């Protein structure tokens, strides 16, 4: 049976109303800082760290089971894995060439797939919804139901209903600035309820500023190591600290050569600044997009649990792969630029050395 557009619109509206009335969650608690799950003194295990380990474990398990029975003629999952890797390899080689493509592929592909899996895995409904409850130290928090399941104390937040739509007021939240906070807290505890905050066990790694920063540092180290290996440490370092022209101008009392050397040195300093700024741009681009996406999903799950939330889930799927692609491709492009700079610099040094020799021979 084929439904008409009007029937689909009516069904969508009914689903929207049911979600709005009966499935609304409490006002979400949004925090830029990741929640600490285990405190080990000098090291805190956060929920984003746990998710990062889960992402790595997921990738290892998928690759292991996909390649444990490697066949000459691929089929099934092996065929998909080979197709994806071959397509990505072709893209890298088209940008960097065959020689450099083989050098760049492991780092670029690792960054791409780690960011992609992190972004997509974080869209599962268990993220930011299941974790540990922490009792409120002050007179504010979320009012939760609680019960004992064997040796465990389980708490949960009830869904909305016609009597608690959570639009202008939310009885499941006790606000810090509420003048009746103390009375509400006492009443909730008298009813046997738990008042506190949820510490999510799982949270998207890229919504933690530390993870994009770590990836940006890895990317920068890889790019600089490619540039150094192509030219050498001191020759590549002159890309940033190029004051040789100034000293040559002083030694020869040549004003024009001295000022040209000043310009070269200033350009090198600007190049160094751009390398450092690149770390910030890499970090905040990925962090900003993924944290904003998490906030959007949390808020629309609170406002309209069904229909509209699905649309934003689709948008986040697209944003997740785009951000992974951008991060990986920028690493690749900057690597190509570092290697190209080394080759061009070497050719320039060779031409400047050959020119005086040619003049003397002439």
Residues 229 and 161 occupy one common structural domain: no
**Which residue segment(s) compose the domain that 242 sits in?**
38-126+206-361
Same domain, 193 and 212: no
Among 200, 215, 241, residue at a domain's last position? 200
> Do 327 and 223 belong to one domain?
yes
Q: Is residue 51 very low, low, confident or very high in pLDDT (cuts 50, 70, 90)?
A: very high
Q: In 3-state terms, what secondary structure has residue 164? A: strand
According to the model, what pLDDT value does residue 115 have?
A: 96
Strands, E assignment, the chain: 36-39, 44-46, 131-135, 141-149, 152-156, 173-174, 194-200
> Does residue 195 sit in the same domain as residue 210?
no
Distance CA 174, CA 29 (A): 12
Strand stretches in 164-273, DSSP E: 173-174, 194-200
* 8 Å CB contact between 111 and 328: yes
Q: What average pLDDT does the segment 304-333 reach?
A: 90
Number of domains in the chain: 2
Q: How far apart are CA 155 and CA 194, in angstroms?
A: 7
Domain end, chosen from 177, 200, 223, is at 200
Same domain, 54 and 187: no
Angle, alpha carbons 112-116-44 (nearest 5°): 100
| Both structure tokens of 264 | 């070269």
Residue 291 in any domain: the answer is: yes
In this structure, the answer to whether residues 270 and 308 fall within a common structural domain is: yes
Of 276, 288, 144, nearest to 211 by C-alpha is 288
- Better-predicted residue by pLDDT, 249 or 349: 249
Last residue of a domain, one of 182, 200, 218: 200
Q: Which of 136, 132, 171 is nearest to 27 (CA)?
A: 171
pTM above 0.85, yes or no: no
Q: How far apart (Å, rounded) are the C-alpha atoms in residues 174 and 172?
A: 7
Do 177 and 150 belong to one domain? yes
Greater pLDDT, 196 or 288: 288
* pLDDT range class, residue 1, cuts 50, 70, 90: low
């Amino acid at each position: 049976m084929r439904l008409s557009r009007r029937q689909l619109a009516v069904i969508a509206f009914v689903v929207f109303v049911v979600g709005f009335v009966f499935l609304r969650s409490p006002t979400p608690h949004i925090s830029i800082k990741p929640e600490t799950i285990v405190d080990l003194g000098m090291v805190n295990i956060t929920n984003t760290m746990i998710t990062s380990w889960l992402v790595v474990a997921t990738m290892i398990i998928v690759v292991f089971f996909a390649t444990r029975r490697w066949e000459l003629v691929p089929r099934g999952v092996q065929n998909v894995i080979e197709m994806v890797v071959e397509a990505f390899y072709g893209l890298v080689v088209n940008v960097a060439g065959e020689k450099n493509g083989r050098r760049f592929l492991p780092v670029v592909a690792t960054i791409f797939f780690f960011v992609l899996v992190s972004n997509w895995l974080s869209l599962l409904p268990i993220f930011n919804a299941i974790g540990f409850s922490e009792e409120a130290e002050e007179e504010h928090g979320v009012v939760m139901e609680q019960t004992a399941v064997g040796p465990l104390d389980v708490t949960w937040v009830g869904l909305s209903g016609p009597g608690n739509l959570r639009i202008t007021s939310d009885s499941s939240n006790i606000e810090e600035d509420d003048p009746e906070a103390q009375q509400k807290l006492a009443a909730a505890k008298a009813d046997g309820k738990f008042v506190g905050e949820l510490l999510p066990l799982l949270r998207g790694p890229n919504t933690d500023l530390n993870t994009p920063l770590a990836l940006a540092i890895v990317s920068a180290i890889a790019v600089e190591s490619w540039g150094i290996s192509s030219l050498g440490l001191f020759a590549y370092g002159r890309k940033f600290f190029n004051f040789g022209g100034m000293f040559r101008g002083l030694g020869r009392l040549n004003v024009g050569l001295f000022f040209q050397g000043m310009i070269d040195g200033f350009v090198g300093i600007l190049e160094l600044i751009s390398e450092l700024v690149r770390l910030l741009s890499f970090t905040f681009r990925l962090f900003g997009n993924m944290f904003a996406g998490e906030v959007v999903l949390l808020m629309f799950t609170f406002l309209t649990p069904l229909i509209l939330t699905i649309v934003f889930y689709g948008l986040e799927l697209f944003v997740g792969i785009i951000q992974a692609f951008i991060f990986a491709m920028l690493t690749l492009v900057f690597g190509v630029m570092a290697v190209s700079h080394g080759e061009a610099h070497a050719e320039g040094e060779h031409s400047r050395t050959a020119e005086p020799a040619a003049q003397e021979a002439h």
